[in-house]
Amino acid sequence: MTTSKIYFLFFLSIILFSCGPSKKELAIGRIQMAHDAYEKGDTTIALLQADSVNILYGEEIQQKENAQKFKKQIYGDILFREQDELDTIKSMISELEKLFNTEKTPYDRYRQYIYKRQDAEKRWNKSYIQVHLDERGALYISSNYYGDKWLNHTSLRVYDKDIQAKTDSVPLSSPLNHHSDFLNTKWEKVSYTNGVDNGLIKFIADNADKKLKAVFLGSRYYYIILEDYDKQAMKEALKLSELLKRRISLEKDIKNLREKTN
């Protein structure tokens, strides 16, 4: 390449670069892209575009402030929507809570919800399954056996015709597999916590209109027919669990959003 061509390319590059958009114009363009994304409903991209102004064009003070102002507007809109949803969630929880009694004994870390028609004191001489729920929305199921012979059951299966669901096993050595007796009466209670129910609660809730049967699986099998109110208890507890978890999530989000809008 000749010297004249080198000089020509050098001066051409200077001209091209001098004709390109300034950093201020690029920053304004980013903010406009943020507005366009938000108008299309893409909040994540809108926030990323606004953040990029500070990262790429930090020396453009005015545009940084404009981008920050727009971010606060976005967070304010989200805050308004989530506060509105929280109000709705709280109202729904209040209605569902009417179906439950609540208690917190010295042995409980969290307040417990007990479905009113599953009062254990009225069922001390019956075999049944029970749903357990606490104020965090944590949910599990237990199988309660009453009889004159040990069953030593470790799991539970619920079925109707060709559909069924089964818990995982809880070993006899586990503290969640409890045994007690008085004279000739035997009681067993197995608690399927931390996902050990294996989706059984949802299975019962989804099939509450069917004539579900339960089998206590141990050294021998023991069958019961689920009461309508026990099936309903699963439905209402599952619904309340989801609402309680959503309330906690919203309250946490709203706290963070308030900090971002200040």
Q: What is the pLDDT of residues 84-110, one digit of tens each?
A: 999 999 999 999 999 999 999 888 899
pLDDT score, position 10: 44
Check: pTM over 0.75? Answer yes or no.
Answer: yes
Q: What is the pLDDT of residues 49-85, one digit of tens each?
A: 888 888 888 788 898 899 899 999 999 999 999 999 9
The alpha-carbon radius of gyration of the chain (Å, integer) is 31
Residue 183 DSSP class: T
- H-type alpha helices, 40-148: 43-56, 61-97
- Residue 210 — very low, low, confident or very high, per pLDDT cuts 50/70/90? very high
* CA-closest candidate to residue 240, choices 101, 108, 113: 113
Average pLDDT score, the chain: 90
